[in-house]
Copies of this chain bind each other. A is one copy, B any other.
Amino acid sequence: MKPKIFIGMAIKAWDIQIGRADKFFNSLDDDAYLNEIAPGKNRIVYLLGHLIAVNDNMIALFSLGNRSYAELDDAFVKKPDRSGLPMPDVATLRQYWKKSNEQLSSFFAGMTAEQWFGKHTSMTEEDLIKEPTRNKLSVLLNRTSHVAYHLGQLALFRAGVE
């Protein structure tokens, strides 16, 4: 069994969730992003910015270079929705989402097995020896679940308009 097959499986699982989220986001007009997913809950625009920021953070965790959208962390990760912090407009966020997915796919495709199975930047070498499953690929698996988690919430809105 070659590591490439497992890496391919993890990337495919990621692509499935991103593809579903992309389909959801593409189905809406810009105005619709200001709706809440359910009464009193996060707005769609917040979840879009949140996913971009959290996904973008893999660039840093995987030592692939500088992040592209680190400026979104304040309004979309560190703070809850409606914090009053400035947010880019919906059209800009939609562009970021598209570009971020393209950038991450390109990075993932170029990573070697040694990179995927190596430690990520918030771990020490000792951590990896103790727990060899805590590597970059495991971060991708967890980020995949994170996309799915919020997609389940977004789907509540979609179900509401159908």
Interface residues of A (CB under 8 A from B): 1, 3, 5-6, 8-10, 12-13, 16-17, 37-41, 113, 117, 132-133, 135, 137-138, 141-142, 144-153, 155-156, 159-160
In this complex, what residue of B is CB-closest to A113? Answer: B1
What are 19 of the A-B contact pairs (CB < 8 Å)?
A1-B113, A8-B133, A9-B138, A10-B141, A12-B133, A13-B138, A13-B145, A16-B142, A37-B38, A37-B156, A38-B38, A38-B156, A39-B39, A41-B156, A148-B148, A148-B149, A149-B151, A150-B152, A153-B156
Min C-beta distance of A114 to chain B, whole Å: 9
Q: What is the count of identical protomers in the complex? A: 2
CB < 8 Å neighbour of A13 from B8, B39, B142, B153: B142
Contacts of A156 in B (CB 8 A): 37-38, 41, 153, 156
Contacts of A133 in B (CB 8 A): 5, 8-9, 12
A12-B132 Cα distance, complex, nearest whole Å: 12
> Besides the contacts A1-B6, A12-B133, A13-B145, what 20 more A-B pairs have beta carbons closer than 8 Å?
A1-B113, A3-B6, A5-B117, A5-B132, A6-B137, A9-B133, A9-B137, A13-B138, A37-B156, A40-B160, A41-B156, A41-B159, A144-B144, A144-B145, A145-B145, A145-B147, A148-B148, A148-B152, A153-B153, A156-B156
